[in-house]
Amino acid sequence: MNQVSTVVADPRSVDQAIASRFSARAFLPRPVERRTLEDILAVASRAPSGTNTQPWRVYVLQGASRDTLVDKVCAAHDAIRANPQLAAEYREEYDYYPEKWVSPYIDRRRENGWGLYGLLGITKGDKDRMHAQHQRNYRFFDAPVGLMFTLDRIMGRGSLVDYGMFLQSIMVAARARGLHTCPQAAWNGFARIILPHIGAGADEMLVCGMALGWADESAPVNGFHTPREPVERFARWLE
Ligand SMILES: Cc1cc2nc3c(=O)[nH]c(=O)nc-3n(C[C@H](O)[C@H](O)[C@H](O)COP(=O)(O)O)c2cc1C
């Protein structure tokens, strides 16, 4: 491909692929062809990275490898619920979220959480249903494909910037093929189960997981549409 002279035939389709990406939280059991997954990963690998370090490493889980990881992590998640002290054994390997939440982030976070639970009819005191809904993360929301992303521990924080571009490229490339995704930091606390399960080396850190598959259009949860701030609120124009 001549990158300089390539013309994006229909620029709107690029916008559509980006804008129609959302975090799908209910998938059909329909499998995804390996060839499609390879194409998605190959195109996503065109994501830029500082000095072309390409710091990503991807584990594609399907079939038994996916199902047994689901069993292990759901069991751990249930065990923590039964004995909250166990939570101390599961640590995230990097701070995805801030230690202290402040406005406006906490407000958006709350709006997001309660918006989702509200749509599902889950109220604040309904701990059982909250636990069950949260646990759907650890079933990849029933998606047949689970992706796990790791980063060499030796790398700097900039590699997480690179990683974000790679992850978004996967999600947009998936959209171009009719597929949907949900990026998942929910797995991060269970790195001590996940890393040995996928055969990652001691030098690898878990960045996040991702569910990928055919979204269930009839599932109410997939009707959850998140708002965005308008451009004038986050962009400052300097002259
Ligand atoms: C790195 C990353 C991790 C995320 N982790 C989770 C997760 O564990 N579970 C979940 O349901 N959503 C997760 N999300 C989805 C966000 O909640 C979602 O992107 C946000 O609310 C905006 O909604 P949208 O993706 O539908 O546009 C994650 C998103 C990102 C970018």
pLDDT in tens, 76-117: 999 999 999 999 999 999 999 999 999 999 999 999 999 999
Q: Is 209 in the pocket of ligand 1 (CB under 6 A)?
A: no
181 CB under 6 A from ligand 1?
A: no
Read off the pLDDT band of 151 (50, 70, 90).
very high
Q: Hey, whose CA ends up nearest to atom 30 of ligand 1?
A: 183
Q: How far is the CA of 112 from the centre of ligand 1 (A)?
A: 10
Arithmetic mean of pLDDT, 152-156: 97
Instruction: State how far Cα 142 lies from the chain centre.
Output: 14
Residue type, 134: H
112 lines ligand 1 (CB under 6 A): yes
Confidence of residue 1 (pLDDT cuts 50, 70, 90): confident
Q: Is 72 a member of any domain?
A: yes
Domain annotation covers residue 108: no
Nearest CA residue ID for atom 23, ligand 1: 226
Residue 222 CB–ligand 1 contact under 6 Å:
no
Q: Contact, 202 vs 190, CB < 8 A? A: no
- Ligand 1 mean position, distance from CA 186 (Å): 9
Tokens of 134: 């949260």
97: in domain: no
Q: Which residues of 75-99 are buried (b: 16+ CB within 10 A; e: fewer)?
A: ebbeebeeeeeeeeebeebeeeeee
Does the residue 122 lie in any domain? Answer: no
| Cα 239 to middle of ligand 1, angstroms | 35
Rounded to 10°, the helix 34-44/158-176 angle is 140
Calculate mean pLDDT across residues 155-183: 98
- Whether residue 48 has a cis bond before it, omega within 30° of 0: no
Residue ID of nearest Cα to ligand 1 atom 12: 184
- Indicate whether 132 belongs to any domain: no
* 49 and 155 Cβ atoms separated by less than 8 Å: no
- Cα Rg of the chain, angstroms: 19
The mean pLDDT value for 8-35 works out to 96
Placement of tokens 């002259």 in the chain? 239
Cα of 160 to ligand 1 centre, how many Å? Answer: 16
Is there a domain that residue 184 lies in?
A: yes
Instruction: Report yes or no on 94 lying in a domain.
Output: no
C-alpha separations of 210 from 133, 184, 226 in Å: 16, 5, 18
Candidate of 20, 23, 163, 228 to mutate for ligand 1, largest count of ligand atoms within 8 Å of Cβ: 23
Q: Give the Cα separation of 109 and 111 in Å (integer).
A: 5
Taking only the tens place, the pLDDT of each residue in 223-232 is: 999 999 999 9
Question: 65 lies in a domain?
Answer: yes
Nearest-CA residue for ligand 1 atom 9 is: 184
Our count of domains for the chain comes to: 1
Q: Locate the ligand 1 atom nearest the alpha carbon of residue 187 and give its number.
A: 8
Q: State the residue range of the domain holding 170.
A: 12-84+138-225
- Ligand 1 probe mutation, 56, 107, 180, 184, most atoms within 8 A of CB: 184
Question: Is there an atom of ligand 1 within 6 Å of 175 CB?
Answer: no
CATH number assigned to the domain comprising residue 57: 3.40.109.10
State pLDDT tens for residues 39-78: 999 999 999 999 999 999 999 999 999 999 999 999 999 9
